[in-house]
Structure 1
Amino acid sequence: MVSKTERRLGYIKLLLKDYAIGYLFMLPWLVGFAWFVAFPVGWSLYNSFNKVTPSSGSFKYEWVGLDNYKRMLVTDNAYPIVLFSLFQEMLMIIPLILIFSFFVSLLLNQKFPGRGLMRAIFFLPVLFATGQVLLELFAQGAGEMPFLEQYNVAAIVKQYFSERTAATVMNVLSRAVIILWYSGVQILIFLAGFQTISRSIYEAIRVDGASPWESFWKITFPGMLPFIGLNAVFTIVDLFTFPFNPVLQIVKNNMFSPTTGYGYASAQAWLYFLLILILLGVTVGLTYRATKGRGELR
């Protein structure tokens, strides 16, 4: 009689036989991921619990536990403020990008002369707005909004908001060009999402006497919820790694500073990463809850 252990080993051998070719094709990626991603990430986490100092061509590690995190949150007066301000600003910019790209894609999904050209125009910033190109464009003043000073918008905003909120609103308005430049991929994803909704559904609801407004809220918007979630995740990752990120600049400066070093910079980077991970988790969770009843996500 075959034992339970032998049956389990036979089942494992059968799985290996069935999936061996697939795992073989995955092997180069797995090796690359382990060497270039998993190992550096794990090493940076280890560094965050150490005081790392250069020593004769190498590095000296001194275990300090959570001291780097305590110093970052209690002693450091600049980093928590910059981190909070960035998240506050991004929480305003991300919805604006999603709303702008959604309604632009809704317009570009209609049939009109020159639709292909207009789609290409809205996608062009994605090709040009790479890291170094974007830095050079903003250095030349391409990202400025002259009307903000011309019409003294800052004074108007300060009348209705607190000083900190007004500063955040002005930062968002001053980066309106970024909202346009960082909407190309989202527009493309939304356009692809619109193609997944069958035209026969619109025809059926139109026969039942539904207005365009009702068809939008009953058919279009619910059908686009998974794509809104996908674009939200993409936008969060894209914006929190953009070239003008002040948090990443602080981490970079502390990395090469003799008073802080790699350990302290790693702790700052890991706190930043965890906050982004929480934001991504909330986004995915809300998307799942919104689409669960419709059976879009399993």
Structure 2
Amino acid sequence: MVSKRRLKAKDIRNIEGSLFIAPWLIGFLAFVAFPLGYSFYMSFNDVKVQATGIRMVFRGLEHYKYILFTNGGVLYEYLIPFLLESMLVIPTIIIFALLVAILLNQKFRGRGIFRAIFFLPVIFSTGQVVTEFITQGEGDLGFLDRYNIESFVTDAIPGGLSAPLLALLNSFVIVLWYSGVQVVLFLAGRQTISSSIYEAARIDGANPWESFWKITLPGMTPFILLNLIYTIVDLFTFPTNPVISQVTSTDYGRSSALAWIYFTIILLFLGIVFFVFSRLSRAEK
């Protein structure tokens, strides 16, 4: 009798849990899973929007072959420079956010105001606002043209590296402006480290620099991984992303194939990050 009651109670808890996640599950299936599956299906077809409806002609891997091999410039002309730029932008955002979070964790007057200042741009800025700022040239550093630094960078650094570096500098303000979420995540992570650990380190004679490398940085490792994932996804879906700008509404089949190739590249990028962090965590153990 007792076992039946326990089984019944367990079933009730399962039903309650299913009811709680049902709204999310329905929304995921309707607004995420179905559009993803449908776009994947369109990538193998020529899609024609007609008055009588949508007509699809099966083409197999033709769109993928066209993008990767026949007309590779559509992807590689924009993808490779963007990846090189990302190699500079992502560490810049992570390091900047980490340092700002450590500073904002200190006790000083007006700390709450400064925290709000760093996060407000994330609330008020939309994709169109950021695009307009960059179009008007508001995201670059003014002294680059004033002191002719661009020509100096071009002459001193090889072309393959100077282009992404200049692209980073030309949108440096916007890059740092978009670091609000990372700052908040690092700030939350910093507060998970007990102050008693730092007090014990000071008693043992550790200076702030040693405390950072021995306590703060190891304790923030999970949050560095979290911010890396967020930054990669956010950067690869940025409004001014040159690869996304190639996705047009005139050829749905080919655009869907390009989107899925790009999606695969993002997954590979994230896979590399997970692989590196797993190796680092094993090395620490």
TM-score by shorter chain over 0.5: yes
Which residue number in structure 1 is paired with residue 164 of structure 2? 168
What amino acid sits opposite 1:87 in the alignment? L
What amino acid sits opposite 2:24 in the alignment? W
Q: Does 1:265 align with 2:255?
A: yes
Which residue number in structure 2 is paired with residue 182 of structure 1? 178
Structure 2 residue ranges without an equivalent (≥5): 1-5
Normalised by the length of structure 1, the TM-score is 0.87
Q: Separation in 1 of the partners of 2:116 and 2:50?
A: 53
Q: Which of 48, 53, 58 is 1:53 aligned to?
A: 48
Give % identity.
49
Q: Which of 15, 18, 43 is 1:20 aligned to?
A: 15
Q: Separation in 1 of the partners of 2:206 and 2:264?
A: 46
Q: Does 1:113 align with 2:109?
A: yes
Q: Is the 8 A contact 2:67 2:74 kept in 1?
A: no
Q: 1:68-83 maps to which residues of 2 (within 5 A)?
A: 68-76=63-71, 77-83=73-79
Q: Which of 251, 255, 270 is 1:280 aligned to?
A: 270
CA 21–178 in structure 1, closer or farther in 2 if over 3 Å, else same:
same
Deviation at 1:293, TM superposition (A): 6.6
Deviates more, 1:190-199 or 1:282-291: 282-291
SS in 2 for 1:246: coil
Q: Which of 143, 157, 165 is 2:139 aligned to?
A: 143
Which residue number in structure 1 is paired with residue 3 of structure 2? none
Which residue number in structure 2 is paired with residue 5 of structure 1? none
Q: 1:33-52 maps to which residues of 2 (within 5 A)?
A: 33-52=28-47
CA RMSD of aligned residues (A): 2.1
Q: Is the 8 A contact 2:140 2:169 kept in 1?
A: no
Q: Is the 8 A contact 1:72 1:80 kept in 2?
A: no
Q: Is the 8 A contact 2:67 2:75 kept in 1?
A: yes
Q: Separation in 2 of the partners of 1:182 and 1:160?
A: 29
SS in 2 for 1:141: coil
**Residues 37-81 of structure 1: per-residue CA shift (max 9 Å, x gap):** 101101111111112223333222222211111100112223221
What amino acid sits opposite 2:124 in the alignment? F
Q: 1:222-241 maps to which residues of 2 (within 5 A)?
A: 222-241=218-237
Structure 1 residue ranges without an equivalent (≥5): 1-10
Q: Is the 8 A contact 2:82 2:164 kept in 1?
A: no
Deviation at 1:32, TM superposition (A): 1.3
Q: Does 1:216 align with 2:206?
A: no
Deviation at 1:35, TM superposition (A): 1.1
Deviation at 1:13, TM superposition (A): 8.2
Which residue number in structure 2 is paired with residue 247 of structure 1? 243
Q: Separation in 1 of the partners of 2:147 and 2:280?
A: 41
Q: Is the 8 A contact 1:226 1:287 kept in 2?
A: no
Deviates more, 1:64-73 or 1:282-291: 282-291
Q: Separation in 1 of the partners of 2:259 and 2:209?
A: 45
**Residues 177-235 of structure 1: per-residue CA shift (max 9 Å, x gap):** 12211111111111111110011111112111222221111111000000011111111
SS in 2 for 1:144: coil
What amino acid sits opposite 2:155 in the alignment? Q
Q: Separation in 2 of the partners of 1:279 and 1:22?
A: 34
Q: Which of 153, 162, 170 is 2:149 aligned to?
A: 153
SS in 2 for 1:244: coil
Q: Is the 8 A contact 1:89 1:171 kept in 2?
A: yes
Q: Separation in 2 of the partners of 1:196 and 1:114?
A: 22
Deviates more, 1:48-57 or 1:194-203: 48-57
Q: Which of 22, 30, 33 is 2:25 aligned to?
A: 30
Deviation at 1:264, TM superposition (A): 0.5
What amino acid sits opposite 1:265 in the alignment? S
CA 37–104 in structure 1, closer or farther in 2 if over 3 Å, else same:
same
SS in 1 for 2:168: helix
Which residue number in structure 2 is paired with residue 290 of structure 1? 280
Q: Which of 21, 37, 57 is 1:62 aligned to?
A: 57
Q: Separation in 2 of the partners of 1:71 and 1:89?
A: 26
What amino acid sits opposite 2:18 in the alignment? Y
